[in-house]
Structure 1
Amino acid sequence: MKMKMTAFCLMMVSFFSTSGQEGNVVGHKIKTRWGETLDPLRPHQEYPRPQLERKGNWKNLNGKWRYTVVDQDQKEIPTHWDGDIVVPFAIESALSGVGKTVATNQSLWYQREISVDNSLRKGKVLLHFGAVDWSCDVYVNKQHIGQHEGGFDPFSFDITDVLKKGERQEIVVRVWDPTDDGPQPRGKQIRNPHGIWYTPVTGIWQTVWLEGVPTSYIAKTKQTPNVDESALFFSADIASARGDEEVVVEAYDGATKIGDWKTKHGVETKLSLPGISLWSPDHPKLYDLRVKLMRSGKVVDEVKSYFAMRKISMQKDDKGIQRMLLNNKFVFHYGPLDQGWWPDGLHTAPSDEALKFDIEKTKEMGFNMIRKHIKVEPARWYRYCDSIGILVWQDMPSGDLGGNAWDMHPGKISSGQHDKDRSADSEKMYRKEWRSIMDALHNFPSIVIWVPFNEAWGQFKTKEITDWTMKYDPSRLVNSASGGNFAYVGHILDLHNYPDAAMPDPGLFGKDFVLALGEFGGLGLPVEGHTWQQKDNWGYQSFKNGEELKKRYAGLVKDLHKLIPRGLSAAVYTQTTDVEIETNGLMTYDRKIIKIPVDELHEMHQVLYTY
């Protein structure tokens, strides 16, 4: 039953007036205030790559493109287009201006004519995609320049050689996405949305952009902090290196240079930084980097980046129980399950301000962590976590579900015999995208935990995948299977329990693994006028008003607090916002109402950090 909620028990988030962009947002579902003010000609205009910033010589290609949906067998570039679509919003979303679904036996094509002026063409021209779900082929001026598979990792193509004389160029993109008909990583998408499964996301859903770079250029940097050695380990990859280049790295605290070093292409270098401040949620200190590619004493290319000094580790306490340490001190991790869905943009936040809003509110509520649940966000989302001060547990998006048992509950663990037997193609898709995701996100210091599997959803070769993840990035902890079939691997034993707070048995598991409550809560409250559908909404436990919800939530926090002395190191509450028919969010799906006042949540949570 839905009831109107009074100002006494709700905090209303302020509304923006609509901007008059009528006709560009489709559908009858609820919308966010940012979606209501969207300029379809200029969505997401911000520089999209904060860890490798080469500003000034780039061009944002978001906005109106043409689209058509045709039979999957059609390989020729279409000559007819159905209409306009707003990039970077998936075709199923309201903000795309289309709101159509695409069947498994269909493909989605995009087309746009762009101008590439001479300032972008002094060296090479790169075409970048933040994310496209799932398989795409890219054509420039009718020439096929490449293919990419993977719905959550960024990719790019060098299009220099296919550009025509003059400024006008044509880009065409073909996308095919089997959603839950295929074994690829997909997260919560399903063709028949219901329960905890949501609307499909097909096509371009992150920023598309052009970049002009020198013939030899800095393609990637990798920076890994080492708190115990007061050092940052740094390397840079140079595209089209000739062998006579030198890389100069400068570190800054604001405008003050705190060190400079010289290195070579692909060589890891130790940057000693004695006395440097450590990053934490209470002190999210970031330092800037300037990286220069030099040849014969001249700057060939230059990029900006940043880093933070932080350490995540585990160690036994005086009771012999493993604790999760931040910078060698125990810090209890508490945060919401954050799925990153939007009623008008689906996987894509309606604006950069909206993207930041969820993180800001999470911090204001007194959380110090977010579990990013089976989704990967745009790079700017992680940049905000870095600067605002939020620890991130990063899930791998799940796929190829079904076919294996889920045998996880308090006090019992599995030996791994319930792993799914995935096909060679399915396994290849998983491994390729997981590695790409880890590579793309490595430099963001807020990410402290990798989570390869969730609740046995497609869980396979658990020990092998976990061991590989630990070896590939030893600077972070690995939670092998959040709430899934635990196979005595990784650093963390993670239990899911709804709605009450619970924990794995410290006597059985605490000496070997950090103990975590990976999901709990799920307290539901549908708010009239702010739900995805008019009826049949649900939570794991539902309430009639905000006061009842607040009282029950406060009880959960008290129960959680009692578990920390017994050995619990972390907990994840479900969830940040309502999502489609799930109404167990701390905020409504449209982000217009916060169900428990922010200041009261903040005060409740402080007791969790005093152990």
Structure 2
Amino acid sequence: MSAAGIASALVLTVSSSATASGFHDSTAFIPQPAPAIPAAGGWHAGIPPIATPWTGEVGPGNALPEYPRPQLTRPKWQNLNGVWEFGKAAAGEAVPTGKTLGERVLVPYPIESALSGIQRHEDRMWYRRTFTVPAGWKVGSGNRLQLHFGAVDYDAKVFVNGTQVTTHRGGYDGFDVDVTDALTAGGPQELIVWAEDLTDATGQPIGKQRRTSDRGIFYQGSSGIWRTVWMEPVPAASITSLTLTPNVPAGNLKIKVNTSAGTGLRVRAAARGGGSVTGAADTDLTLPMPHAKLWSPDNPYLYDLSVELLRGNKTVDLVGSYFGMRQIGTAPGADGKLRITLNGKILFNMANLDQGFWPDGLYTAPTDDALKWDLQQDKALGFNAVRKHIKVEPDRWYYWADKLGLLVWQDMPAANTGPIPADWRAQFEAELHEMVREHQSWTSIVAWVPFNEGWGEWSKEDTGRIADEVKAQDPARLVNAHSGVNCCNSHGDSGRGDVIDFHQYLGPATPAPSGNRVAIDGEHGGFGLKVSNHMWFGDGQAYEMEPDSPTLTAKYVANQEAVITSAKFCGISAAIYTQITDVEAELNGFFTYDRQVAKMDLRQVRAINQKIIKQADGSGANVPQPPAGTPGLTGIAFWPLDGSYGSLTPVGNAPFVEGHNGQGVDLNGGFLDAGKPVLNTASDYSAAAWVKLDKADGAFQTVVGQDGASNSDFYLQYSGADQRFAMSFAGVRALAPVKPEVGRWYHLVGVRDTVKGELRLYVDGRLAGTASACMPQAAPTGNTVIGRGKYGGNQVDFLDGTVDQVHLYDRALSADEISQLYASGE
């Protein structure tokens, strides 16, 4: 199905007369798209490997002409997007004042993109153009000329008529500069921008950008100007920004009107359909909103807001804005597990991962309709939330999220995957807090995410500190200190913030709430499908590839059904599926990277997503009490391995050698097979064994396991990834705290406790680790095995060592029993 076909079939379109908000009707404050600014000719668009439905609509006369700042509007403005002169720059090079540059670039598309017309990377670059200040703006007679840059990646210097007017560091935040004093008396004014972007060669925040795509999970970088450049006249004393914080329980809006200069300034703010307030500028004011209509994904109602800046009784500045009344929080569900609430009611956040890349514009959507389209698909597919993944979008993206009704989890763009170098850490933190400051008033944003999978993280303690500082900066939203804290480069759980967030592919992840923190699945899914002629590299991959659309749809529906189970049994409050579109070689989108083809049956997608939101409501599930099980410390199976295999069958090399108690079995590629599933994995169970390792490196080694359909139902193991003993399910590990010694006997006990929803590991009679494992297990399908595991349908993780005194139990052993078993030597 084409993008146009999808839109007509499913998409919830939003017109300028949308009744969810009066914002578009406030014509006094909403500037119309600016006319094209004449510039030098010679620009030609590049040819992207694949094109979106909007690629052909972009040209010098309509490069993102929309007003770029919807939350603070003035009627007079001029867009400086369009064709600029461009040239490669060198470090220390003189500013090319008065000189024509040899190439042409279309601003604001990053230079690596086809739409820019450059379509290559440069570490350093010059941009140049001229502009004329409209005579009616009366700059110099009480008004100032403000120049605005939406974003320049990464270091920027700005020159007007040869005078350096500002510098800026940071690729994701906007910056403004008063250029009045650099203007000439009249006529054309010269504007030159220098930009440097070394991307992954430094410690700067870069998100998924790399200078060279790895054809995996990292993508083509975006350098230089990549958001709208524009200018406007403002009074000498003017409104620079608004800080808007709804307080639903109190029935008011906290508002702070931030100004540029002056003393004795007052403000008057009024909400259409709400209250008004007058007070001092640059202070916190309370605007009454009695009986307010609340914003939610089902009813994204927005209020218009007008704000006047007063000196005495004279209005010196006037801006328009808008806001929604909504409150994000947490509360226990009927099952006692802490969950996320919106406006005081539990609401499951069913989200899509959105990385914000485009094959024609890379970091910059080709048009505003394209920017809106991805979010429209989220709504059409039944999602009520979006995770904006390690990228910060232009303001209009958040405006459309506000208008459409989507809860946004906003990531901080990560640096490289390794620890951020010490001399870059302060910069990372400064950009994080600037991101929060600039986006603190968007209705749709409900959570901040400082770290992802440990990328850039340098210490668990600093991660916790940073989470606390973000929470102090914005107490009205959730803080997810570390998305995917169980994954990858993570330094471990800091215990801070409002959220415990696990990633699991294919998943879903199954963390449980703890203390004052809710639990979410921060990433799962990732099922892929190849679509000929719609792939960036002509090929690609995903976490699991499917042969056709019906299979892909069935996989998605089954995977999402498991989200309901995770919500009921584990208490997760949100789940984030990867992802809305393919990106370069990642082929796990609902849509191809060019937005031309839908890869699943979208009606089935919508139905299961809506089912999740309805059923994952906090009512929970009654965890069945397990049967008492067989008493005593012998268990339902005991193999002393003293010269006899008992009921076990040796496979491969499995000789008897000196054991911990009498003899044991030396396994190195061989294993022992019970010939049947001894343990009922749908209930409680325990497995115990003495083991001595011959090696302890990066390879996994299973001591006791039981084969499932694809993976072992459980692994009592040495985890090579962690170099520690563990009691595990696939993707979940209760880990011992230290690495074991080679050649030493250890007593291991793994416990599955269905009532507490956890795995426990005991080493030498003492509790060594726990892990949340709240999802119910299926009935057993494969044999109990000693000395190997099963993963992905393959026999793996062979033990390299000696095993002795193996016990299996049809119940969860207590800590006292495990201590007694260890002391007995059996």
Q: TM-score, normalised by structure 2?
A: 0.67
The one of 53, 73, 80 aligned to 1:33? 53
* Structure 2 match to 1:409: none
* Structure 2 match to 1:371: 387
Deviation, structure 1 residue 219: 1.0
Contact 1:316–1:511 (8 Å) recurs in 2: no
5+ residue gaps, structure 1: 1-6, 15-20, 404-419
* Structure 1 match to 2:557: 554
Contact 1:130–1:206 (8 Å) recurs in 2: yes
Deviation, structure 1 residue 487: 1.1
Contact 2:276–2:288 (8 Å) recurs in 1: no
* Structure 1 match to 2:449: 451
Deviation, structure 1 residue 86: 0.1
Map 1:178-189 → 2, pairs under 5 A:
178-189=198-209
| 1:490 partner SS | coil
Contact 1:13–1:591 (8 Å) recurs in 2: no
| 1:581 partner SS | coil
Q: d(CA) in 1 for partners of 2:65 and 2:48? A: 27
Deviation, structure 1 residue 453: 0.3
Map 1:95-134 → 2, pairs under 5 A:
95-103=115-123, 107-122=124-139, 123-134=143-154
Contact 1:220–1:238 (8 Å) recurs in 2: yes
* Structure 2 match to 1:91: 111
* Structure 2 match to 1:407: none
The one of 246, 259, 266 aligned to 2:275? 259
Map 1:4-403 → 2, pairs under 5 A:
24-55=44-75, 57-77=76-96, 79=99, 81-103=101-123, 107-122=124-139, 123-194=143-214, 195-241=216-262, 243-253=263-273, 258-403=274-419
Q: d(CA) in 1 for partners of 2:592 and 2:138? A: 46
Question: Residue 468 and residue 524 in structure 1: after superposition, are their counterparts in 2 closer, same or farther (change >3 A)?
Answer: same
* Structure 2 match to 1:495: 502
* Structure 1 match to 2:436: 438
Q: Cα deviation per residue 1:579-601 (whole Å; 9 max; x = unaligned)? A: 01111011111111111233332
What is the letter of the counterpart of residue 204 of structure 2?
A: Q
What is the letter of the counterpart of residue 77 of structure 1?
A: P
What is the letter of the counterpart of residue 218 of structure 2?
A: W
| 1:549 partner SS | helix
- When the two structures are aligned, how many residues end up with a matched partner? 568
Q: d(CA) in 2 for partners of 1:272 and 1:201? A: 44
Q: d(CA) in 1 for partners of 2:315 and 2:89? A: 48
Contact 2:418–2:457 (8 Å) recurs in 1: no
Q: d(CA) in 1 for partners of 2:328 and 2:315? A: 36
Contact 2:48–2:360 (8 Å) recurs in 1: no
Compute the RMSD of aligned alpha carbons: 1.9
Contact 2:333–2:346 (8 Å) recurs in 1: no
Q: d(CA) in 1 for partners of 2:42 and 2:138? A: 37
Contact 1:11–1:595 (8 Å) recurs in 2: no
Contact 1:341–1:579 (8 Å) recurs in 2: yes
Map 1:487-566 → 2, pairs under 5 A:
487-504=494-511, 506=512, 509-535=513-539, 537-566=540-569
Q: Cα deviation per residue 1:246-295 (whole Å; 9 max; x = unaligned)? A: 21111103xxxx32210111110111211011111001010011000122
Q: d(CA) in 1 for partners of 2:156 and 2:342? A: 40
Deviation, structure 1 residue 53: 0.6
Deviation, structure 1 residue 42: 2.3
Deviation, structure 1 residue 466: 0.5
What is the letter of the counterpart of residue 182 of structure 1?
A: T
Q: Cα deviation per residue 1:476-526 (whole Å; 9 max; x = unaligned)? A: 00000000332111111000000121311x3xx434421100000011112
| 2:242 partner SS | strand
Contact 2:43–2:104 (8 Å) recurs in 1: no
Q: d(CA) in 1 for partners of 2:161 and 2:51? A: 37
Q: d(CA) in 2 for partners of 1:557 and 1:218? A: 47
* Structure 2 match to 1:3: none
Q: Cα deviation per residue 1:228-263 (whole Å; 9 max; x = unaligned)? A: 10110111112121x23221111103xxxx322101
Q: d(CA) in 1 for partners of 2:52 and 2:68? A: 22
151-160 or 318-327, which deviates more:
318-327
5+ residue gaps, structure 2: 9-40, 486-491, 616-826
| 1:565 partner SS | helix
Contact 1:51–1:305 (8 Å) recurs in 2: yes
Higher gyration radius (CA) = 2
Q: TM-score, normalised by structure 1?
A: 0.90
Q: d(CA) in 1 for partners of 2:345 and 2:554? A: 32
Q: Cα deviation per residue 1:102-128 (whole Å; 9 max; x = unaligned)? A: 14xxx1100001111222343000000
The one of 580, 600, 607 aligned to 2:604? 600
Q: d(CA) in 2 for partners of 1:28 and 1:431? A: 35
Contact 2:113–2:361 (8 Å) recurs in 1: yes
What is the letter of the counterpart of residue 559 of structure 1?
A: A
Q: d(CA) in 2 for partners of 1:234 and 1:431? A: 25
What is the letter of the counterpart of residue 489 of structure 1?
A: R
Deviation, structure 1 residue 372: 0.1
Deviation, structure 1 residue 13: 6.1
Deviation, structure 1 residue 320: 2.7
| 2:321 partner SS | strand
Q: d(CA) in 1 for partners of 2:42 and 2:504? A: 44
| 1:95 partner SS | coil
Contact 2:549–2:601 (8 Å) recurs in 1: no
Contact 2:553–2:601 (8 Å) recurs in 1: no
Q: d(CA) in 2 for partners of 1:191 and 1:12? A: 34
Q: d(CA) in 1 for partners of 2:6 and 2:385? A: 24
* Structure 1 match to 2:493: 486
Q: d(CA) in 2 for partners of 1:116 and 1:76? A: 23
What is the letter of the counterpart of residue 556 of structure 1?
A: N
| 1:377 partner SS | coil
Deviation, structure 1 residue 605: 1.3
Contact 1:320–1:511 (8 Å) recurs in 2: no
